[in-house]
Amino acid sequence: MRKGSVIIDREMCKGCLLCIRACPFGVLTEDTEMNTAGVYPAFVKNPDACTACSSCYRVCPDCAITVYLDEGDA
């Protein structure tokens, strides 16, 4: 299985949590700490399970997610 990396910009995130439902591999969850806007952003709880499928990236309305395909796995 190819390996990816996902980065959440927790200050851009508005806490809609759509990305958590969109991830087929359980990589994301809700953070336990608020950002400066007072919302609980998405949090990468299981980074090793990310396959760079980009489902989370596609559903994010605020472009708060960046997905990388790890080198050598293209």
Nearest-CA neighbor of 69 among 1, 16, 2, 11? 2
Please pick, from the candidates 3, 21, 22, 35, the single residue that binds ligand SF4 as defined by CB under 6 A: 22
Burial zone of 72 (CB within 10 Å; 0-12 exposed, 13-18 middle, 19+ buried): exposed
C-beta of 20: minimal distance to ligand SF4 in Å? 7
**Rounded CA gap, 28 and 47, in Å?**
8
Please pick, from the candidates 36, 48, 62, 70, the single residue that binds ligand SF4 as defined by CB under 6 A: 62
59 in contact with ligand SF4 (CB under 6 A): yes
Binding-site size for ligand SF4 (CB under 6 A) equals: 30
Which phi and psi angles does 22 have, rounded to 5°?
A: -80, -20
Which positions touch ligand SF4 (CB under 6 A)?
A: 4, 6, 8, 13-19, 22-23, 25, 27-28, 41-42, 50-56, 59-60, 62, 64-65, 67
